[in-house]
Amino acid sequence: MNAIGTADLCDTFAADVQVCAAQFRMFGARRSFSGIIQTVSTYEDAGLVKQCLEQPGQGRVLVVDGGGSTRVALLGDRLATLAIQNGWAGVIVLGAVRDTEVLASLDIGVVGLAATPLRGSLDGAGSMGAAFQFGSADFAPGRQVYCDADGVVVSAQPLSDAYDGVQDASAY
């Protein structure tokens, strides 16, 4: 699949997408990624993030609702490497990440709110597979997420097939 810009998706499918208003920073080397959503909801605990990334990713994107905490990191270079090994397209963290220089060299999409050197606990607190909302967007397993330098866009259905053949829809 060719990279479809989030701006073009918003122009073409305005009624079918939600734009996440959270102001993420890009940390991974992959600057554009998309996939079916898998979710983890946790607070300052990376245990379920690790458990999830140990499973086959099949091109999915793990969306982690970390409650917006930037005190500890929920993803670092080891978990990102595990994600690559298991075929995940990317990880979106509503929270902090660490090992940012290494993350910048890894072929995976990683976005988060901030960076911090302190690692979260690995107790496994939280839940996997729950739907949640942040930044005015609904994240749930099975929905589709698109991410690039312009932001994060969520849709109920994959838009790539519908996008084929659409010329540049951007007004700018």
- Cite the annotated binding site by residue number: 76-79, 98-99
**How far is 93 from 65, CA to CA, in rounded Å?**
6
Q: How far is CA 12 from CA 16, 150, 163, 166, 170, in A?
A: 9, 15, 8, 8, 8
Nearest Cα residue to 137 out of 9, 8, 16, 4: 16
Annotated binding site for substrate: 76-79, 98
> Residues comprising the binding site for Mg(2+)?
99
CA distance 108 to 125: 25
Q: Which residues of 129-168 are buried (b: 16+ CB within 10 A; e: fewer)?
A: eeeeebbebebbeebbbbbbeebbbbbeeebeeebeeeee
